[in-house]
Amino acid sequence: MYQDETLICEDCGSEFVFTAGEQEFYAEKGLANKPKRCPECRKVKKQQRRGKKKMYDAVCAKCGVQTQVPFNPTQGRDVLCRDCFEAEKAAAAETVQHAV
């Protein structure tokens, strides 16, 4: 149904392939527009957007390490560092798999 398509990046002008698999993924997510940037330029753009977010200092409730989070921590609510957050997310996913 889908076929690889060669596109031109609007930022750097290089050609890149919009694969059939990527097209299928876009369709599943309801994305109608083709990508305008090559994967490298998309990565740079994403990093630029992330750099503009205000970050807040916090202490991880699980391991006690000083960390930064992209939201203003609320008094009385636990904040986790990235490592502890990912570990809890993985443990929760494993628990769900065993329950099924």
pLDDT tens digits, 35-91: 999 999 999 998 888 767 788 999 999 999 999 988 899 989 999 999 999 999 999
Burial 23-59 (b: 16+ CB within 10 A, else e): beebeeeeeeeebebbeebeeeeeeeeeeeeeeeebe
Start-end of H helices in 1-100? 20-28, 39-52, 82-99
* Residue 22: count of CB within 10 angstroms of its CB: 17
Distance CA 75, CA 86 (A): 22
Distance CA 49, CA 51 (A): 5
pLDDT reported for residue 49: 80
Q: Whole-model pTM?
A: 0.49
